[in-house]
Amino acid sequence: MNLGALSIFNGGKQLLENILQTNMTGLTGPLAFHSDRSPMNPSYDVINIIENGYQQIGYWSNNSGLSVAPPETPSNRSSSDQHLGVVVWPGGTTDKPRGWVFPNNGKELRIGVPNRVSYRHIVSRKDGTDIAEGYCIDIFLAAIKLLPYAVPYKFVLFGDGHENPSYDDLVEKISLGDFDAAVGDIAIVTNRTKIVLWILEHRLNDEFRGPPRKQIGTILWFSFSTMFFSHRENTVSTLGRMVLIIWLFLVLIINSSYTASLTSMLTVQQLSSPITGIDTLISSTEPIGFQVGSFVQNYLIEELNIPKSRLVPLGSPQEYATALKKRIVAAVVDEGPYIELFLSDNCMFSIRGQEFTKSGWGFAFPRGSPLAIGMSTAILTLSENGELQQLHEKWLSRKVCASQTSDDVSDQLQLQSFWGLFLICGIASFIALVIHFGQLFDSTSAFPRR
């Protein structure tokens, strides 16, 4: 470089003076400056550059701010006036972009989705379409809306539609690069988190109900306290005692029936299955059912050392029920949410023992994926604002199970079974009431009027 050719410019003051004296019409309109050097009536057109040109969508001036009204129009710069015309964004959309787009070399993310054939409400192919739908899909869509950037993606259904796909294979496809992520009821188990994967957890939490407080009046309290012979009120009249003795007889029958029903129920249940939990199941030699495609098969073999020959694959809740009824399996081992859904339709079965793992479900992403962090925060938000619970109720609401099978209902003692006793009690009360009023009438008419 020839540094010697450089010289110092000493006319800066003069240049500034000349600029401040400008008085001309420039590209943006009249151009002049106040003595304090601020521009006179600065105003600009705001244009929206679109594919083949531009369109004016408003103005900006010192007085009016951003506005669709020209700057000459008197304005009080109220917030309601602070808007521009409709903006057309790149891509021809009028939806405001959410900032930068998730970088994936300009390609859509391929998101693997299990094409379930059982418990289809959790996630599956919508009948007659190639669209994925279900509880997990809704969670993903709600979470992705909360991200501050757009994520171009497409769901790719995984599974042949004849049986539930292998979830281990689905997760492995992420590490192989076939999928950029997986959305579904993917159990968070150690061997999956070991293959460079992040699985975001969203536990189901159904514990949302509280008992409503009810007021019980003195009459109801008295009636019910007699059930447990805990009433403290004295009954002094003969008629009252007569009604009470009939009621107590009724209570005695109800109590005895209740005790007998409960005892037989517990005994029958106890006799029907010697399995009291996972330990008795392991130590027995009975066959065990598991859900096709689930991690449970490997878990039973590798973690609980159960011989593979004892395991029976079951493809649907209907197969669970048949296998249990026909004693093809002594028990089915599966994740809590599936079992709860199964039991809500099959009340004759029950959970034995305690849960022995606490794995939740999650969506899977490659390790280090920035999307995983954003989705994790978004799912947390959905959990906190109650949206997760609403989606759970929309897709996975369960029927409340009576304690016994519907086949047994006819053998059970119902309220109707006691209708005769209630009738006798009601008639006795009515007669007592009539006699009481009769006596009252007699005693008042025994006094001569003055």
Q: Is 138 in the site for ligand GLY (CB under 6 A)?
A: no
The footprint of ligand GLY on residues 367-396 (CB under 6 A) is none
| Residue 363: CB minimum distance to ligand GLY, A | 11
| Residue 135: CB minimum distance to ligand GLY, A | 12
| Residue 123: CB minimum distance to ligand GLY, A | 10
> How many amino acids of this chain bind ligand GLY (CB under 6 A)?
7
| 3-state SS class at 390 | helix
If the CB atoms of residues 247 and 320 are measured against ligand GLY, the closer one turns out to be: 320
If the CB atoms of residues 120 and 231 are measured against ligand GLY, the closer one turns out to be: 120
- Contact track, ligand GLY, 178-197, x by CB under 6 A: -------xxx----------
Q: Do 70 and 118 contact (CB within 8 A), yes or no?
A: no
Q: Which own/partner pairs from 69-75 qualify as long-range (CB within 8 Å, at least 24 positions apart)?
A: 71/41, 71/43
If the CB atoms of residues 59 and 155 are measured against ligand GLY, the closer one turns out to be: 155
Q: How far is CA 63 from CA 71, 306, 351, in A?
A: 7, 80, 72
153, 295, 320, 365: residue in contact with ligand GLY (rule CB under 6 A): 295
Q: Do 21 and 31 contact (CB within 8 A), yes or no?
A: no
If the CB atoms of residues 58 and 360 are measured against ligand GLY, the closer one turns out to be: 360
CA pair distance 122, 249, nearest whole angstrom? 52
Q: Do 364 and 140 contact (CB within 8 A), yes or no?
A: no
If the CB atoms of residues 58 and 293 are measured against ligand GLY, the closer one turns out to be: 293
| Residue 165: CB minimum distance to ligand GLY, A | 10
| Residue 151: CB minimum distance to ligand GLY, A | 23
Phi, psi angles (nearest 5°) of residue 75: -145, 145
64, 67, 294, 346: residue in contact with ligand GLY (rule CB under 6 A): 294
Hunting for tokens 């903006």 — which residue is that?
A: 87
Burial of 291 (C-beta count, 10 Å sphere; 0-12/13-18/19+): buried
| Residue 186: CB minimum distance to ligand GLY, A | 5
CA pair distance 188, 91, nearest whole angstrom? 39
Q: How far is CA 398 from CA 145, 341, 342, in A?
A: 28, 6, 9
If the CB atoms of residues 61 and 359 are measured against ligand GLY, the closer one turns out to be: 359
If the CB atoms of residues 125 and 425 are measured against ligand GLY, the closer one turns out to be: 125
Q: Is 335 in the site for ligand GLY (CB under 6 A)?
A: yes
For residue 249, how far is the Cα from the chain centroid? Answer: 49
| Residue 357: CB minimum distance to ligand GLY, A | 12
- Helices 387-396/135-145 angle, 10° precision: 160
Tokens standing for residue 15 = 């240049």
| Residue 330: CB minimum distance to ligand GLY, A | 22
135, 140, 155, 167: residue in contact with ligand GLY (rule CB under 6 A): 167
CA pair distance 258, 265, nearest whole angstrom? 10
If the CB atoms of residues 43 and 294 are measured against ligand GLY, the closer one turns out to be: 294
User: Given the rule CB under 6 A, which residues bind ligand GLY?
Assistant: 167, 185-187, 294-295, 335
